[in-house]
A = this chain, B = another copy of it.
Amino acid sequence: MTAPLSEDDLIARFFAPIAGEGAFALKDDAACYAPPPGHDLVVTKDALVAGVHFFADDPPGAIAGKALRVNLSDLAAKGADPAGFLLALALPTDWRADWLEAFARGLGEDAARYNCPLLGGDTVKTPGPLTLSITAFGTTPAGAMVKRFAARPGDAIYVTGAIGDAALGLALRGDPPFAARLANVERAHLVDRYLLPRPRVAAATAMRDHARAGMDVSDGLVGDLEKMIRAGGVGARVDLSAIPLSDAARAAIGGEAALFEAAITGGDDYELLACLAPGRAGAFETAMRAAGVPLARIGEVVAGAGVVWRDADGAPRVFTRGAYQHF
């Protein structure tokens, strides 16, 4: 156990060193931020609760990183470049200085990695579980934010990266039968993808330059795509065989339909979904390739309502589970 620190001491010791310009070393109640002229601010906020969104015994740096990264994923989907963030931290009564030090170190490393400085926040105590909320800001040129609800019939549907790694990594905590067919390196890959999202910050420019609609995949590909399509008042056809899987996910699934369904309906992918007007798909692919972001075309937007998920042989599949509900 450690001597109790006041809130001011705690902020000065752990958080002031990672604060950005405009945060006044966290000695004020508010931060000042001047957006670049001709730019809009894009603002997002996510809350995470121990035992709901992460495990209380996850590494503290990974908890901090995840809290920031889930917000950066939202910004990337909207085509916004990170500009800064605020953190609200409700600490359980048994918090330890070494835990908080590792948490702040992880947060500071990610703030530097993603060029997204800490601008302020609040630290309080709670009789409940560790609870975090991050508000992240990004900027786009005026009017360039990518909306969720703008898909039109004829648009091509893309997804970045690989789907299902995090859901399978989470399942590995229960030591499921499929663990036996994975090499250590595959297990480690899947667990790591659950623990620490890789937000597609590098994709922001391609998204705002080309995508008509976009969102990040945080609650499962199936549920999130259905949300995006419903929000646009349109329908979609998706080829299940085109959904990108990592080698580790492919090995874990091993042809079991239930595991494939778990992979494409489970949460925490933090990849991006995008709808591209027919004339923009090529330029989008080129821009994503230049940004080093893997991209797969998985279907198309159609008139009507609902998403039809088709097997490799063209037969429709219905999933028993919709979007993963963190709530």
Identify the A interface with B (CB < 8 A). 6-8, 10, 24, 27-35, 37, 40-49, 51-53, 74-75, 77-78, 80, 86-90, 119-129, 131, 133, 135, 137-138, 142, 145, 147-149, 215-216, 227, 231, 325-327
Contacts and interface: CB of A to CB of B under 8 A. Distances in A.
Nearest to A129: B128
A52 B127 contact: yes
Given A86-B135, A148-B29, A124 B326 contact: yes
Q: Report, nearest first, the 6 A-B pairs whose CB atoms are least far apart.
A: A128-B128, A7-B327, A47-B88, A88-B133, A135-B135, A133-B133
30 contacts: A7-B327, A24-B149, A28-B148, A30-B42, A30-B43, A30-B145, A31-B42, A31-B43, A32-B43, A33-B41, A43-B86, A44-B120, A45-B86, A45-B87, A45-B121, A45-B122, A47-B88, A47-B133, A49-B90, A49-B124, A52-B124, A52-B125, A52-B127, A53-B124, A88-B135, A122-B133, A123-B327, A125-B326, A126-B129, A127-B128
Count chain B CB atoms within 10 A of each CB in A32, A34, A74, A78 and give the residue with the most.
A32
Contacts of A131: 90, 126, 128, 131
Q: Taking the full assembly, how many copies of this chain does it contain? A: 2
B325 A122 contact: no
Contacts of A127: 49, 51-52, 128-129
A276 to B, nearest CB: 18
A327 B100 CA distance: 15
A74 B147 contact: no
